[in-house]
Amino acid sequence: MQYELYYWPSIQGRGEFIRLALEEAAADYIDVVRTPKRASGGVPAMLELLDGEDIDHPPFAPPILKAGKRVIAQTANILMFLGARHKLAPAGEDGRMWTHQLQLTIEDFLVEVHDVHHPLAKSLYYEDQRKEARRRATDFVPARLPKFLGYMERVLTQNPSGAEHLVGARLSYPDLSLFQIVEGLRYAFPNAMARIEPNYPQVAALHGRVAERPRILAYAASDRRIPFNEDGIFRHYKELDG
């Protein structure tokens, strides 16, 4: 079965967490919106799904994954589905719940990253809320950033199976997601990360291990990996990198 992924074509955003899992699993998938030559591709195909008139469980927003007749939305929900299918999560219920819990925490982290540069409203440009963004950054960089990274460091350190992974003794989808978080933070807050990242050696080591996985290496070198830019969740504004 070929998966169909629907997400915005010019940003990594939340869709990147799904792409990393699909790439690591060597899954057969098509990035529909980025394949406009396909008869049912392009942004209109995604908007049609979002309208949801003929769908029993209409999605609220992308990313959206079609798996046969299933239409699945919400990043953590999609990853929970893929994790069970592609051995990117433990088989037991307790392990699956813990894996999902970690992913939900990563989603919370992602929201806070976004809200640094858009603290008032998504509908406003960054330039319309620059003053508020600077104020938000003065809390995020010294307080929230260490809080989340410190938690992930503690999870790795306290993993009974060893600090190489967040869950158990093998790669799971939160490992891939934490890799993406570190990648994005290094882009958006290079000065802050250069200062504080040494405090979280297990997080940095996990990032390095994921980066060297053959399928992730190949993906990163391909045109399937969209570069970071100032339209996505991770944006570099010098004045916010305090």
What is the distance between the alpha carbons of residues 69 and 73, in angstroms, rounded to a whole number?
Answer: 13
The domains located in the chain, with CATH, are 3-85 (3.40.30.10), 93-240 (1.20.1050.10)
Helix (H) or strand (E) run with residue 73 in it: strand 70-73
**Averaged pLDDT of the chain:** 95
Least confident range from 5-9, 11-15, 46-50: namely 46-50
pLDDT surpassing 90 at residue 42: no
Confidence at 48, pLDDT banded by 50, 70, 90? confident
What is residue 109's predicted lDDT score, i.e. its pLDDT?
A: 98
Confidence at 77, pLDDT banded by 50, 70, 90? very high
Per-residue tokens: 193: 């990360």
What is residue 203's predicted lDDT score, i.e. its pLDDT?
A: 98
Whole-model pTM: value is 0.95
Q: What is the pLDDT of residues 113-157, one digit of tens each?
A: 999 999 999 999 999 999 999 999 999 999 999 999 999 999 999
Residues 6+ apart with CB under 8 A from 21: 27, 79, 82, 83, 86, 88, 173, 176
What is the distance between the alpha carbons of residues 99 and 96, in angstroms, rounded to a whole number?
Answer: 5
Cβ–Cβ under 8 Å, residues 206 and 164: yes
What is residue 56's predicted lDDT score, i.e. its pLDDT?
A: 83
Question: What is the mean predicted confidence (pLDDT) over 205-229?
Answer: 97
Cβ–Cβ under 8 Å, residues 25 and 88: yes
What is residue 153's predicted lDDT score, i.e. its pLDDT?
A: 98
Residue type at position 99: T
Q: What is the pLDDT of residues 99-111, one digit of tens each?
A: 999 999 999 999 9
User: How are strands ordered across the β-sheet holding 29-31?
Assistant: 29-31, 3-6, 64-67, 70-73
Q: What is the pLDDT of residues 194-211, one digit of tens each?
A: 999 999 999 999 999 999
How many percent of the chain have pLDDT more than 90?
88
Residue located via tokens 């319309």: 128
Cβ–Cβ under 8 Å, residues 165 and 159: yes
Bridge partners of residue 71, in order along the sequence: 66
242 SS3 class: coil
Task: Cite the DSSP H helix spans in the chain.
Answer: 15-24, 43-51, 75-85, 93-117, 130-139, 145-158, 173-188, 190-196, 201-211, 214-220
The per-residue DSSP string of 147-206 comes to HHHHHHHHHHHH-TT-TT-SSTTS--HHHHHHHHHHHHHHHH-HHHHHHHGGG-HHHHHH
Tell me whether residue 212 is exposed, middle or buried, using C-beta atoms within 10 angstroms of its C-beta: 0 to 12, 13 to 18, 19 or more. Answer: exposed
